[in-house]
Each structure stands twice: as C-alpha cells, then as structure tokens.
Structure 1
C-alpha cells in the first residue's frame, strides 16, 4: 500500500490566506441561486445583517485560530474534548461533509448541463469535476490551500462584470422598493437562513489551523474576507432585482448565470460560458478542501491517525463521494421535490453548524484557559 504525504507541513500560510479562504469558501453554488431564495429587494438588509452576525462568529473562530490547541491539530481536539468525543464528532462530520460535497457538485453539474453540455450524460460531468479535484487533493493540504489564490483570481472579478446592470435602460429602480418590508413571511425567514448557511464556509477552516498562521492579527483578515463576500452578495442580488424584478426573479433558475448571457462586449460572445468556466476553479478548490477534510474525518473515526496517509485511503474516500453523488443524482436530484429536499437539508445543516461550531470551540478554549 503506497503512502502519500497529504497532511505534511513545510510552512504556515499568512494572514492574506485567511482573507482569501474566508471569501472563497463563502462564494460557491449558493451564490448562483441566492436571488431565487431572497426575491424581495428589502432582503438586501438581510445580507447585511447576516453578514454582520457572521463577523461575530469569525471573532469566535479567531480565538480558536490563535489558541495553542488549534495549532496541535488532532491532538488539540483530543485535549479539549477527549478521544471518544472527537471520534463521534468525526463520524457526524464525515456525513455532513459528504452531503455538502454532493450538493455543490450536483448544483454545478446541473448548471454545466443546462448551459454548456445539454446533450452530455451528467455522470461524465460529475466524474470530470471529481477527477480534477482528486488531482488537486493529491498534492496535499498545504498546496491545496495555496490553490485558493488561483480560485480567487479566477472568480473575484466576476461580480464586477454585473455593475453595468445598474445603469442599463431596463434597470427600474422602483423594483428596489420597498426597502422596509410591509409583511414578513415564512419565505423571508428561509431567505435569512439561506444567507446564514451560505456564509458558513469558514467553519471548515477550524480544522486546518496547523497549516495556517496563528498571528494575533488574524481577525482583521477574517473580517475583510467576510466584508468582501457581503459586497459581492449585495452587488449580485441588487443587480438581479434590477434586471428581473421581484415578480419574475422567483421563477427562474440560476438567475446570475442567465444574466451573464446579456453582458455586452465588443470582442466576445456567450460571456456566460466564460463565467461558468472560470467559476469552476472555485468549485474545484471547495471540493478538494472538503475531500481532504472527509479523508481526515474517516481516519479519525477509524482510529488510523497514527498511520501514514495512503493513496488507497484517499481514493476510497473519493469513491465514496462519487457513489454518493451519482446515487443522489439518480434517486433525488432529478425530481423537483428531491432537489428541494437536498437543498433545504444542506441549508439547515450549514446554518446549524455555523451557529454551533464557533460557539463550542470558543467556549472550550475559554474554559481551558480559565482552569
């Protein structure tokens, strides 16, 4: 059984990486369908409010990032919670990560299939995305984390292309009213939950601290990364409301991608194809990081932390993901009720995890330090 060094560390990544990691882990599949869930113009305040609440969570996470326990990785978790508790957490973590990888992959593949490859079997698209992610993952945690620079450079500028939608002749600023809701429905609450869940990506960074710098100023970079996300979310949502109007916005899938087809340039056509292709780098980064977390969680609950990582172990984790995605696609994703069930499950789980994990880690560290 050939070994492979997936979790070796040769250096730690500085504060700028925190900024990029926070921003990119918050910009994934959900941002492409966000306007459908928010619909009403006043939900822009929901983005701002949830973003500010996210800052509180990042403050709690910064306490964990700078603690001595986080720097020890697995041993730090054992010191805080005990070995058996960590194993139980790893089992739940494995299932949660598996679900998240499956849903974001199915979402991106659905978009590729709808806009670029309608005649291709979706299973080939799933396989292609996962093979690329496996290649990135095989270079180890440190290099995969560095891949965030490429993901950022390939994706951060996309939101800027939507600024012209603010100034088109069809942009009706009356669609931005009311800015204060005259009524509040269950769908509005679900919209807030959706935003909170979409912002939950940085919670997985809590398990990658050994590869990240424990600089005391890390909070500054976390805050800036989160603020960039709020700006991107707000820009894309307002542009969508101006372009479609609230009445039509709730009736269209992938509104942000459809808008890309209306971007006018002098030398390029089908800008939406280009945007979808560049967005793939962010998906590959997201899936690669989560695959490493999945493999790590599997090693914890199978009590193999003292053994070296192997190609067979990584490939086995990858195959579990592949089987899970294909099964979900065949039995659930193809139907509207099944797709809604998967998305709502991920929304609730993501929101719950983002509320729970930072609070538990912050409380555990404070309690240990006070003893």
Structure 2
C-alpha cells in the first residue's frame, strides 16, 4: 500500500517524465524514497543521506533510462549490506568508475586531465564525475550554459569571481550564447594543467575559434584579423617556432592571455583593460621590465597597416613587395642570360 501511494505521489509530482521509469525502481524507492531524513552515520562523524527524491530523479537525464542497480551494481537483493565507507568522499570515490560503463569515451578523457593527475597523486579532493554532474539530479550540463561556470566555481571560486566580472562573464550571465564559459577554453573532461605551459601554447587557437568567425565578430563589430596579425608579428612567429617544444614558460613568447588577461579580459575601451592605452606600458613591462612609455608605439594593436593607419609601415611593406620581386626577377634573368651566353659560345 505504501509503495502504491508513493508511486501515485511521484507521478503527480513529476508529470509525464515518469512515463518511462522502469518498474524495478519501485523496490529501491520503496525504502529510499519515503523519509527525507534517512541517513547513515559514518566513522568520520558525517551523516550520509540515503534518501532519493523520486521527483528530482525522475526529471534528471537518467530518470527514464536507468535503474538503480545500473549504477549500484553490488545491490542484488534485499536487505542488502552496506559497504564499510569511512566518509562521504569514500562513497564518491567508490562509485567514480560506475560512469564509464555508459560514458567510456568521456571517462578515458578524464584520465588525461589535470583532475585525475591530482587525484592519482593522492589528493582526494580532486574533482570526480559526481562533483561536477551530481548524482541523482543530473541535468544537461549546458542548459543553461551558465551552469558550467557555476559548477567550476564550487572549487575555483576565486577564479570564477574574476571571470564573472570580465566581459565574457558578464555577457554569459546576461544570457549571451556566444561568449565562452570555462569548458570552451579549458575543455570539459581532459582539462590541461594551466601551470605547465601547454595550455598557453594553444591560446591563439582557442581564442581564434571565436575571434576568426566572420559571422560572430560582425555582430560585435570586431576584427577577424586578430590571429593573423598576431601570427605575423614577432610574438606570434616566436610562439609558432616554440610550439611543440618543452620551452621554459618564462621564456615563451607572449600569447593572447599575456596581454589581454586570462579570466579578467575586458573590452579594449574599458579603463581596467590591460590593453587600454593608459595601461599598456605596465602590460609590456611584465616581459620587458625596461619598457618606457613610448615602447607600445611599436605595436599596431592587431591592425593591418594601411595608408591611413601606420602609413610608414604600410609604405615600407609596399616597397618590399615591389623591390623583392624586381631583384629576384633580375637575378633570375641575369643567370638565364649567362647560361644562354655559355651555350651560344660553345
């Protein structure tokens, strides 16, 4: 009678989402779905809640496709014994690999990520599947997209606060689907360690995904030539030569984030922007301690030289475009005439 009443309550609370719930759930929810205060006392002094809100689970992404025993595979009958967990973290670690039975591709990516590397060294606080996705209340990570960054904020709150006040963070919170959230730059499962330099080497590629899109940049009246102009200047050429090497991060050429910031990127017109004219000398001095106030004048700010913008640079480029083909052509002609003369004089 109790289980029948529970199913009626669950169906009313969850609506049509319950239509496909496997009937086998009844056996588990008969105990675990009744008392919201149900818990276990752990040796660590923590209380482990064992109540499952049927309505919440029913609306989750797994609600209509998984049975309890698909994840809790060791529970084969009733009454069942409890494993000797010492803490809540023991429970989470114990069930960590259950996800790979369905999500093997993403599971294998985590093995290359910084979180797994940290956990392998003994740090049990490193993020696991459940820390990011939840357990019985799993929803689609990108609905809404702001949930992604808010999830990362659970562990990286300081970084999140800086990001939230940036041009990307403010627009993301306002519902702009174009701006990046954490996983757009760091990826979701195979997250790189930002301290070893590998992520920095990929910065132009990461930023270029959005900033070379004609369709996207036209909406914000931004240039799509930022990556091209960067790759053509000294910093870009140096970074390209060093890519794929294990260069010392301190000697690595400047990439996008060195000038524009990492999580604190602002519009170039913002008074707090690293690339604002008034702040540009301080930005350059990070790598060039002796830089004077005239030092940034050598940078064209991602603009391509034109007769109106950087006239002298444009003139020099035009001179070389004309003189180099002329000189090379003249040299080839001279060699051809010498060869012709040798052949004729034989």
Same fold (TM over 0.5): no
Q: TM-score range by the shorter chain?
A: under 0.3
Structure ranking higher on relative contact order (CA contacts 8 Å, 6+ apart): 1
More helix by share: 1
